[in-house]
Chain A
Amino acid sequence: MLDSIKDKRLVFVTGKGGVGKSTCAAALGAALARRGKKTLVVETDAFSAMSELLGKSGKDGTRIKIADNLYAINLQSDECLVRSLTRFLPSERVVRSVTGNRVTEAFFKSAPSVNEFVLLDGILEFVEDNKQLYDHVIVDLPASGHAVTFLNVPDTLNQMMRGVGPFAKRAKVIAGWIHDSSRAAIVAVCLPEEMPVQETIELEDKLEEALGRGLELTMVNMVHPRPFPARFGTAFKEASESAGVNVDPTKEFSEESTATRRVLAGNVLAMSWYKRDRTYLDLLHSKLDAEIVELPMVYETEENDIVDRLANFINSDGQTTETLAS
């Protein structure tokens, strides 16, 4: 598993809110680090999810060590702005005169895309860091808005600046990384449901259109397992039909019922969840060329345990069967 991203130094993880994007980014980081790859997970959100997901917290804007080979940081755009300017302007005094000036402050606040750009600039700095030499920098992209818009920021900005000035030049370098699928990977996280799957398929097209490249990897989160072996299929179908629990199995849990009916109904539901997931997974497989990793439903209450399980699952090539709680 993860063959598609194993030689990619920059890995963007994208997905709509609620699909478990941060969980999957954390699991990717943990899995790669356990393979001995030096890995940094970068967040750009005001609220960090990594402290809960990876079980360690630190101050925003500072890098923390999570485990062997595994590091995390939550980047803040205001700090990134100062850092970017520091590289473009001759001295710190000049930088301060720019950031402390009301006219330029007004300008930064009102210029679209500058925030996103300085974040990407900060991220690329980690990739270019020749002291740390990370094998992988994994970026947990913001959930709001569209990934394509975010990844297109360097191009957009370059366009708005008509290619003039150091920001535009740097934007070109960053765009070069994002466009280059031999160095940077784009990973989509989705659930095996209609909307997220459709959006992932559309994302692939939009990426091709806007960036001339596609997805490397799709992680499908919370896939329901097959409840019982296929050889019991016929017997089960007959039993649930003759008991009449197949039509509205949910009802057995809100109205008077019996233990046997509930066990049957529970399996009917589990079977329909499993089948529904398969339908959307089949659709995904038929439409995407990217590697598809199916992550099983994990039942743990602590988020870092979920990440731990998923990382183990990935590194055992899906051989771990203990996906639910033990």
Chain B
Amino acid sequence: MANEDQIESILESARLIVCAGPGGVGKTTTSAALGLKGALHGRKVIVLTIDPAKRLANSLGLDELTNDPQQIDLSERIPDQDTDGELWAMMLDQQQTLDDLVARYAPDSGALARSKDNNIYKLLSSTLAGMQEYMALDKLHDLYTGGYYDLVVLDTPPTKNALDFLNTPSRARQFFDDRIMKWFIPSKNQKKGLFSKVFDAGGSVVNTLLGRIFGDSFVQDLVDFFETLSFLQEALRSRGDMIDFILRDPQTHFVVITSADQRRIKEALFFHDKLGQLDQEAAAFILNRVIPGFEADDLTSFDVEDLGDLGDVDVDKFESALSEHYEHLARLAKHNKDLVEKFGKEVGPERLRAIPLFGEDVHDITQLRRLGEYLG
């Protein structure tokens, strides 16, 4: 399925592009560049980002990205480009997303109030590992099924291991796992779950031990937490199944973003490999911040005499100063080039895009477009 214009064709037809990869490789910027490109292809695109640089948000004309989609005015920013496409952006607010979820699925106002009052719930969104990933996918679910956008570009949260992300739906479901839940959730004809009964019975071994380790109030809070939020179990399960389905959809494409660094390339390949779990593969690999093609050979024909009058500078010293650093850079560039070639052999060079390390940060639409030129 890979061809010359792999990224272009994805941008024309995909409903979801998941940008994955190790942290710190410019995923957010690349996601924005892909989104902009998609909009210039005439599509209605939303970029769901987790933690964008303030200057990136500002340069998109958004003072602050919020949990609600905001449209970026392209006609004003790119007057030379006439497009029917739209570019939207939003930033995930995980607490808000969780609150929304609870508010939507709470069976009555009492359950909602009890959820929000629970000591554990209050601390949950910041303490539960994987909550951010889960909430990102949950938001994705809404954007994807909402019907307005042609294309969602998902900038994945920085996980220590991009792989964690793929397991998010199952991990979230596991949190409300049946085997765990049955201890908490009351069965049909009963008011309380097994845990409550164990505790109400008093004096049991489990009760005594857990209470002894954690303190009785914590145990009771946790039991209340699960009983109160049991309504979320079904919601999370069905949404988790739907998210799984979305990730497996043929119109969902994964773009793996990494940098010219051995360990991060290894991580990217590992991720690509694991995409098999979803019957998916990386549609494209983007190598960010590659040192441009400095060549040590350039130094043999480098001649400051070509530069004309340099004033009263010591020409020989000037030449050797410029050469010395260039030689170091050439060595770095060679190292990068070798990595790119090796990586290209493994994944197919047509699937690989190398973006050079620019002199400036990519902060505005013009620079995003420039970055986009290297993507197509």
Contact = CB atoms under 8 A, between A and B. Distances in A.
Contact of A198 (B53, B195, B217, B328): B53
Contacts of A144: 129, 158-160, 164
A293 B23 CA distance: 22
A47 B324 CA distance: 39
A304 to B, nearest CB: 12
B317 to A, nearest CB: 8
A133 interface: no
A167 B214 contact: yes
A259 B301 contact: yes
A156 interface: yes
Contacts of B53: 194-195, 198
A267 B322 contact: yes
A263 B302 contact: yes
Given A104-B209, A110-B222, A253 B321 contact: no
B325 A228 contact: yes
Contact of B331 (A46, A228, A236, A299): A299
A159 B332 CA distance: 51
Contacts of B263: 49, 52, 303
A98 interface: yes
Nearest to B262: A301
Given A18-B22, A195-B53, A94 B209 contact: yes
Given A109-B180, A144-B164, A198-B54, A165 B212 contact: yes
B293 interface: yes
Contacts of A267: 322, 325-326
A19 B22 CA distance: 11
A205 interface: no
A242 B308 contact: yes
A29 interface: no
Interface stretch (B7-15, B69-77, B234-242, B352-360): B352-360
B314 to A, nearest CB: 9
A174 B175 CA distance: 27
A104 B206 contact: yes
Given A161-B217, A168-B215, A270-B329, A103 B307 contact: no
Contact of B23 (A18, A146, A238): A18
Contact of A263 (B160, B194, B299): B299
A168 B219 CA distance: 13
Given A17-B22, A156-B123, A263 B323 contact: yes
A119 to B, nearest CB: 12
A142 interface: yes
A268 B161 CA distance: 36
Nearest to B306: A260
B78 interface: no
Interface residues of B, number: 89
A250 interface: yes
B112 interface: no
B331 A253 contact: no
A57 to B, nearest CB: 15
B245 interface: no
Nearest to B25: A18
B23 A242 contact: no
Contacts of A35: none
B119 interface: yes
Nearest to B24: A18
B35 to A, nearest CB: 18
Interface string B334-372: 010000000000000000000011111100000000000
B358 A149 contact: no
Interface string A260-272: 1011101111101
Given A144-B164, A262-B298, A266-B292, 13 more contacts: A18-B22, A94-B209, A167-B214, A191-B24, A232-B321, A250-B358, A250-B359, A253-B293, A253-B294, A259-B295, A260-B307, A266-B325, A324-B332
7 contacts: A97-B209, A156-B126, A162-B218, A250-B292, A259-B300, A266-B329, A301-B335
Interface of B: 22-25, 51, 53-55, 119-120, 123-124, 126-129, 132, 158-161, 164, 175, 177, 179-180, 183-184, 194-195, 198, 205-206, 209-219, 221-222, 226, 259, 262-264, 292-295, 297-304, 306-308, 310-311, 313, 317-318, 321-326, 328-332, 335, 356-361
Q: Which A-B residue pairs are the 5 nearest by beta carbons?
A: A18-B24, A17-B23, A164-B215, A165-B215, A272-B359
